Amino acid sequence: MPTIKILQKRYHSQINELDFSILLAHAINKPREFLYAHPNFPLSAFAYARLRYFLFHYKRGYSVAAITHHKEFYGLNFYVNKDTLIPRPETELLVEEAIAAIKTPPSRGGSGGCWLIDVGTGSGCIPITIATHLNCHPERSEGSLSQSGADRDSSIAKLPQNDSLKIFATDISKSALRVARKNARIQNVSINFLHGNLLEPFVKQINTATHQHRNTLTIEQLNNQTIIITANLPYLTPIQFEAEPSIQREPRSALVAENSGLALYEKLLQQISHLSPSVISTTRSLRSVQAPEESLAQSAKRTEIPLRGIARPRRPRDLTRNDKLKMIIFFEIDPSQTQKISSLVKTYLPLASIEIKTDLAGRDRVVKINLTLP
């Protein structure tokens, strides 16, 4: 059987050196450092057969991560398969910005905590990386039993004792959630994985936990919290997908969206705008103060704002308290989508401010949306 040195020389001109070293190390089940320390190590017949199998798929267009089912992201090793998007280095910018936002002391009064919601989590690389760097490891109690997948779907994972950061992650794909849970177990972090469309399962989870039966959240449920939403949703157009051979082997549904690639982001913005009528619709409530008495009462009932009498219109009482809801939203985008996504944000969240963060190549990559109410 050939040695490591012979194989490196044989394939030197046929395949990228880094890719080959990863495939070779995976074939012999050794770290890459082993290749350089033991160049005369002979491969077994089984290991050589594995390497040739890997190279066969590599030449057919499969990426190294797709072949080995592993991808490094932000210094962590993630399991991936055909059901998930392979983590990209560009997404590390979104993670950095989210970590910085969580670490920044709140500008509001009170001691409210922080809730992180990763929408369309896929492999879970975004929330898991954030949780790992912020030491969000699960508590372990004596005699605790492991939960089944179904139990984990409907329960909230244990969080650090300070309970200052709660992490949720949603995905419409149950297969992707299985991958994300596996990665969370590997990294030993505490995350609430929820199955459903964008923010819908999060709203359902919170309303269930607080014994509420409605489709929206209120200011009482989000009292003095900072809500951070991260999303790396499909944002490529069908034309972009077809023009890029390197991504043809990944799930199309995790890459492509309609409406110039922004259909899912628009849907998410719409959901965010309806998170809490008593909070997000503040401007609409204030515009109604000159309305007739009946209209004001109907508006108060619709937005769940109690009235102490309607003798004279006035600012809703709940919105004059010190309670504030701060939302920070991070979207990863294609550089060509900056203007369109900014327009969508202003349409659905007119009170929000927008920042565009650029990647190492100087291209627009992350949209940061700040929204503080009341």
Q: What is the pLDDT of residues 292-323, one digit of tens each?
A: 334 333 433 443 434 333 334 333 333 334 45
The model's confidence at residue 275, banded by pLDDT at 50, 70 and 90, is: confident
Q: Is residue 237 part of a domain?
A: yes
Residues 89 and 47 both lie in one domain:
no
**CA distances to 22, 92, 109 from 28, in Å:** 10, 30, 57
Of 155, 183, 167, nearest to 80 by C-alpha is 183
Per-residue confidence (pLDDT) for residue 13, from 0 to 100: 84
321 phi/psi in degrees, rounded to 5: -80, 175
pLDDT exceeds cutoff 90 at 203: no
Q: What percent of the chain has pLDDT above 70?
A: 71
pLDDT in tens, 248-258: 677 777 778 78
pLDDT in tens, 283-299: 333 333 333 334 333 43
328 DSSP β-pair partners: 228, 370
pLDDT in tens, 154-174: 333 443 333 578 899 999 999
Count of structural domains, the chain: 2
Q: Is the peptide bond before 277 cis (omega within 30 degrees of 0)?
A: no
Residues 163 and 31 both lie in one domain:
no
Structural domain harbouring 53: 4-60
Residues 92 and 43 both lie in one domain:
no
Tokens of 330: 């991070």
Per-residue confidence (pLDDT) for residue 113, from 0 to 100: 77
Q: What is the model's pTM?
A: 0.77
Residues 123 and 205 both lie in one domain:
yes
The model's confidence at residue 28, banded by pLDDT at 50, 70 and 90, is: very high
* CA–CA distance, 355 with 37 (Å, rounded to integer): 47
Tell me which H or E stretch contains 364. Answer: strand 364-373
319 phi/psi in degrees, rounded to 5: -85, 0
Residues 137 and 181 both lie in one domain:
yes
Single-letter residue type at 168: F
Per-residue confidence (pLDDT) for residue 114, from 0 to 100: 86
Of 304, 300, 306, nearest to 288 by C-alpha is 300
The answer to whether the CB of 241 falls within 8 A of the CB of 249 is no
pLDDT exceeds cutoff 50 at 329: yes
Residues 240 and 141 both lie in one domain:
yes
The model's confidence at residue 212, banded by pLDDT at 50, 70 and 90, is: low
DSSP 308: S
70 phi/psi in degrees, rounded to 5: -140, 145
pLDDT exceeds cutoff 90 at 202: no
Q: Return the minimum-mean-pLDDT range out of 29-33, 238-242, 270-274, 326-330.
A: 238-242
Tokens of 32: 């890459």
